[in-house]
Homo-oligomer: A and B are copies of this chain.
Amino acid sequence: MASAKSGATSGPKPGPRYAQVSDTLQRRIESGTYPVGALLPTELDLCQEFGISRHTVREALRRLAEAGFVQRRQGSGSQVISASPKGGYVHAMRSLNELFQYAADTHLRVDRIFEGAPPAPIDAVLGDQAGQNWVILQGLRLDAAGRQPICWSTVLVNQVFAGIVPDFATLTGAIYRLIEDRYGVLVDRVEQDIRAMPISAEAAAELGVSRRIWAVQVVRRYLDNEGRVMLVSVNDHPGDRFSYSMQLQKEGWGRS
């Protein structure tokens, strides 16, 4: 195995040893030598085959695990779980504000607060969460300085978190933050749907736009780590002012 050490032109030594071993193993996985589902040779076996220490083998295996090729289990071994790097594209955001895409200095002017079932048009788009009772807020989200309305919002708060209602008076940030701070439950997942539809009479009136304008409705469901719906917000934007941008970045693990 260990050959061609003489000053040849083909230098098979790019980078540290663990990277070479990792690349070799990756090629074997991609080529099917180690099929998906099978176990890799044990660390000791790999030590022998490559003539390296266990520490170096473990560094190589760690890389394969990080790249999504293998899963390691103490006492069992390293199982091949994928023949291709986990790659893909990600749209990452540092905070949920980047999801909303309106400036942080906007604020929600709450017009109504009540408890019960949501209006029929709202309930219709809830899917799994339809038919429940909520603490419901409705109001206009406004630009900080000017009076430019951004959207007409209906916010459905899970009744478990009804205790935040008194805090709406001093509402500065987003509502989900109120729940996070007061109840200590973190938002673990957000589902966002974007639809277009003829604007409702109510939204058109509140936003001060013609009913010939269409609305873009953005529905966001906030779930905690147990899958419980903490909050649903339904936001009707005037179509002519709506725009949503996202950037996807490739996330790859090449060989080396």
Which residues of A are interface residues toward B (Cβ below 8 A)?
A: 87-96, 99, 186-197, 212, 214, 216, 239-240, 242-251
Known: A89-B96, A196-B216. A191 touches B250 (CB 8 A): no
Please determine whether A196 and B239 come into contact, CB atoms closer than 8 angstroms: yes
Given contacts A194-B243, A196-B239, A214-B214, contact A249 B188 (CB under 8 A): yes
| B residues near A189, Cβ cutoff 8 Å | 247-250
> 26 A–B contact pairs at CB < 8 A?
A88-B95, A89-B95, A90-B90, A90-B91, A90-B93, A91-B93, A96-B248, A187-B250, A189-B249, A191-B245, A191-B246, A191-B247, A192-B245, A192-B246, A192-B248, A193-B243, A193-B244, A193-B245, A194-B194, A194-B244, A194-B245, A195-B243, A196-B216, A196-B242, A197-B239, A197-B240
Number of identical protomers: 2
Q: Which residue of B lies closest to A192 (CB)?
A: B246
A243 and B196 alpha carbons, distance in the complex (Å)? 7
CB distance from A24 to the nearest CB of B (A): 23
> Residues of B contacting A190 with CB < 8 Å?
89, 247-248
